[in-house]
Amino acid sequence: MLFIDFIQFFFYIYCNQIKKAMNNSSPKKSLSLSGIVCSTLGHDYVISRKITNHINEYRCAQCGKEVTDNFNGNIENLTFKTREINTSLALFFQKKMRRRLPA
């Protein structure tokens, strides 16, 4: 008896989550479909911007999700703030590279 209640409870939660997911994805159907592909197979990241020799920005070719390398060498979501940091970092790096070139 308790076990069946348990199953029903999970089924109820499960249905609600599917409903929520469908409501969220209805305006952009193709995007959510590639999102499912990405969540099962992983993102197909392509370098979208080179910041330094070690830091790049990546964009997923499937769903368009953007991430960046951070100072710790980890992958981080690309937000307005991280994009700003990368922009100033790229400028700094370019200046540094220019200085290193022979006259």
- By CB under 5 A, tell whether 78 contacts Zn ion: no
Contact call for residues 51 and 90 (beta carbons, < 8 A): yes
Q: Which is nearer to Zn ion, 37 or 89 (CB)?
A: 37
CB atoms within 10 A of CB 55: 18
Which one of the spans 22-30, 39-47, 68-76, 86-94 is the region binding Zn ion (CB under 5 A)? Answer: 39-47
Query: Which of 51, 55, 65, 69 contacts Zn ion by CB under 5 A?
Result: 65
Which residue among 51, 55, 63, 67 contacts Zn ion (CB under 5 A)? 63
Mode of pairing for the β-strands spanning 66-69 and 45-50:
unpaired
CA distances for 73 relative to 28, 29, 54, 58, angstroms: 33, 33, 8, 14
User: The tokens of 103 are what?
Assistant: 């006259």
Q: Which part of the chain contacts Zn ion (CB under 5 A), choosing from 5-13, 62-70, 77-85, 87-95?
A: 62-70
Question: Tokens standing for 10?
Answer: 């999970």
Which of 60, 66, 68, 78 lies at the binding interface for Zn ion (CB under 5 A)? 60
Does residue 59 touch Zn ion according to CB under 5 A?
no
Task: Give the interface with Zn ion as residue ranges (CB under 5 A).
Answer: 38, 43, 60, 62-63, 65
